[in-house]
Each structure stands twice: as structure tokens, then as C-alpha cells.
Amino acid sequence: MPDLEWKKLAVGPLAMNCYICICRKTNQGMIIDPGDDIDFLLQTIDELDFTLEKILITHGHFDHILKLNEFQEKTGLQAKAHPGDQSFFTNLNTIAAMYGLRSAGIADVEFSLAEGQIIELGVHSFEILHTPGHSPGSVSFVSSGLAIVGDVLFQGSIGRTDLPGGSFDQLIGSVRNKLFPLSDTTKVLSGHGEITTIGYEKKYNPFLS
């Protein structure tokens, strides 16, 4: 639908893609994975001129949540994630230190996202697909013609499965059984890199074609 606006913002040392989605009929918006460069994100929200109502997390790896607590403190909003990744949040300080990074502290997260749940955004809705494999609690947010998939699927590639809780077979199953049934024209908004489509990945992705 044309009044569903979205913007990709690469943040942090790993150029993680944070996404802002806005229903322009109601000027209500949500942000997905505000993991770093918080002042830049807040400035962008101000420039886009909408009311931020929701914070959603695709999965709990450190680059997606490193500064989430700071973002929450400045917006007063609670974040939502899948319970399968709860340990990544509670152990964030230790995990970040392993990579020579410092987190903004443990965020206030409601671990309530689940397969089939509907997230309302103004006149639009996003269905949650549980797409594990990159992490146990990885989820994708799907609306008409749009899929925000975190690190499950990339342009010409797939997410790592050698991290704790990862599973190659599970990830391939998530892509084939949850994402590939979507329309070929569906835009795939990944956690890193460029935008792609379901049809392109079906045809050209060497891990899946």
C-alpha cells in the first residue's frame, strides 16, 4: 500500500540495518532493531515527523540490541522480541565485551512475539513469522509486499548458523517454508546489505536455488 512508508538506516560497527515503518494515514510509526547510533536514529525520526509507537526486535544478536537500552530511555517505549532469544538480551554485557564493545545496558524487553501474531500499525498490519536458524528466536515481520527478515536471508546469501543456537537445517527450512511462499515481488529487507526480493533469491541465491 502506498501510504506505508519505510526507511533503511545502517548503524553501528557492523552496518546493521535498522528499519523505520510509518503509516502515513495516521502518522504512526515503529522501529525495528534500533541497535546503535541512537542520536542519528532520533534525529531521523524527528525529520520524518511521525509518532513512534513500537520497538520491535528481529533477534537478539549484539549488533541489533547493543544500544537498545539507550534508545528506550530516550523514547520511553518498551521493546518486544521472541522468547527464544531471551538469553542474548540478559547476557548482552558479557557478549559485547567478547567483541571489544560496550553495551548501553540491559534493555526492558517484553518477550511476547510469536508465530502468527499480528502487529497493527495504523491501517496496516504485520504478521510475525518465527524464522529460527540464525538464532532460536529470529522472527520476520511481513506486510503487503514487504518482509523484514533480520539476518535470516540476505541478497545472495543467508545468515550465519555457527553462532550459539544456530542451525543450518533450521534456517534453510525457515526460508523455504516461511519466506519463499510469499509473493515473488515481496521486498526482502535484511539486517545487513541491500534490499532484494523473494523471486530473486529463489532464482539466484546459491544456498537456496
pLDDT in tens, 137-182: 999 999 989 999 999 999 999 999 999 999 999 999 999 999 999 9
CA distance 92 to 72: 15
Q: Which of these ranges, 1-10, 36-45, 91-100, 140-149, has the smallest mean pLDDT? A: 1-10
Please write the tens of the pLDDT for every residue from 108-128: 999 999 999 999 999 999 999
* H helical segments located in 132-197: 168-174
φ and ψ at residue 24, rounded to 5 degrees: -80, -10
Sequence-distant (≥ 6) Cβ neighbours of residue 45 within 8 angstroms: 20, 29, 31, 52
Q: Which of 173 and 3 is assigned the larger pLDDT?
A: 173
Domains and CATH numbers, the chain: 4-204 (3.60.15.10)
What value does the mean pLDDT of the chain take?
97
The confidence band for 2, taking pLDDT boundaries of 50, 70 and 90, is: low
Please write the tens of the pLDDT for every residue from 87-99: 999 999 999 999 9
pTM for this entry? 0.97
Quote the pLDDT of residue 144. Answer: 86
Quote the pLDDT of residue 12. Answer: 96
* H helical segments located in 18-154: 38-48, 62-65, 68-75, 86-90, 92-98
| 54: pLDDT strictly greater than 80 | yes
Q: Which residue in this structure is represented by grid cell 550465519?
A: 160
